Amino acid sequence: MDWTPAADEDQLFRITVKFATGVAPAVSGSRWFRDAERNDIQGELAEWPDGPVFTPRTQGDQAARGVGRGLLSAIPVIANIIANIGGAGGSPFGSGAGSGKPEEPENEVDDFPVMWAAPGTLARTVPWQLDPGRRPEGYLTDLVVTSRRLLFLDEVGVLAEFPRESISGARQMEFSRIGADMRLTFADDSWIRLFTGSPANAERLAGILNGDVQVVPESALTDAQRARVARFVAHLRGSLHPPVYTRYPSGIVRVEVCVPSKAGKDLVDVTGILMDDQGEAAPPKPGDL
């Protein structure tokens, strides 16, 4: 997925995403595309190929699947990123399916829309390639945030793009597989729900789009910081995307990198360091966190 931003913008954040999947018993393994009246709109989405048709499970179906869910929920939970200030650290997380309390039972327990979009709204224009039920096995889609756009990419190029001002909010949805879902809401109140591979990714993406964290491009780093990052990345087991740089109010920079997780093929571990202007390990200061 070779892609570079335009001359008038900086790439700030890039992760691999796809439409989320339900985890509550009645909607486990399922997803739906809805309008504001909760009608199914799969057949209304322009140029989308046919996809799977899901039906909420009855209590009998849920009981039959109970053993499988029990095995999945045995994966240990560490739902936070470790920012190791002394060197490469990791967040070797897993999670129980649907850990925590549903925030919206109507959208997470009884139904599981991954698109909520009235006719003519922006959510209907996101690419169908985000859907695991429509794309080929092994196909990947990335989400990129730049200083002025949000884009969806595949291995060929740009699938769709939206001005940053068309995004009104983003929210980590904790009742999800490993807490890694996030909701992206457009200015017209339509929204999509995506799986980000890591709870740290969902949290960071929400913070960036909501303006709660200051992410800076690599060009904003000092020479000493760039050298420190190069040494850090060289010791990782295959970083998936360029590092993300978050500057704290004190000036301390947090560096985060996604690496493949052994817990699942579509999961990532997020590892990081904290450094000062000289590239030296530095703890956060009062007011940073």
Structural domains of the chain in order of their starting residue, each with its CATH number: 12-58+82-275 (2.30.29.30)
pLDDT digits (tens, 9 = 90+) for 227-280: 999 999 999 988 889 999 999 999 999 999 999 999 988 999 999 999 999 999
Mean pLDDT of the chain, nearest integer: 87
- Tell whether the model's pLDDT for residue 85 goes beyond 80: no
Instruction: Taking residues 110-114, report their average pLDDT.
Output: 97
pLDDT digits (tens, 9 = 90+) for 87-105: 333 433 333 454 578 999 9
Amino acid 61: pLDDT: 57
pTM: 0.86
Q: How many CB atoms lie within 10 A of CB 45?
A: 18
| Helices and strands in the chain, H and E counts | 5, 14
pLDDT digits (tens, 9 = 90+) for 18-75: 999 999 999 999 999 999 999 999 999 999 999 999 998 876 555 544 434 433 333 3
* Nearest-angstrom CA–CA distance, 184 and 202: 10
Amino acid 72: pLDDT: 37
Instruction: Taking residues 133-152, report their average pLDDT.
Output: 96
Q: Give the DSSP H/E element, type plus range, for residue 258.
A: strand 253-260
Please compute Rg for the chain using Cα positions. Answer: 19
